[in-house]
Amino acid sequence: ELQRQVSELTKRNAEIEEENAILRKAFEQKAAAEMQAQQQEQQLNSTNFLQPPPVLLPTSSYDFSSQCSRTSVTDAASTVTMSPAPPSPPSKEDLYAALIKTALAEYQQQRRVAFVEQRAFV
In tens, the pLDDT along 5-35 reads 999 999 999 999 999 999 888 888 888 888 8
Give the residue-averaged pLDDT of 84-111: 80
Q: CB–CB of 30/95 below 8 Å? A: yes
Give the whole-angstrom CA distance, residue 120 versus residue 75: 53
25 burial (CB, 10 Å; 0-12 / 13-18 / 19+) is middle
DSSP three-state, residue 2: helix
Does pLDDT of 75 surpass 60?
no
Give the residue-averaged pLDDT of 35-60: 65
Q: Which backbone phi and psi does 25 adopt, to 5 degrees? A: -60, -45
pTM of the complete model: 0.36
Q: CB–CB of 92/4 below 8 Å? A: no
Q: Where are the alpha helices (DSSP H) in 1-122?
A: 2-48, 64-70, 73-80, 92-121
Domain ranges for the chain: 1-46+89-122
Instruction: Give me the half-sphere count of Cα atoms (radius 13 Å) on the Cβ side of residue 78.
Output: 6
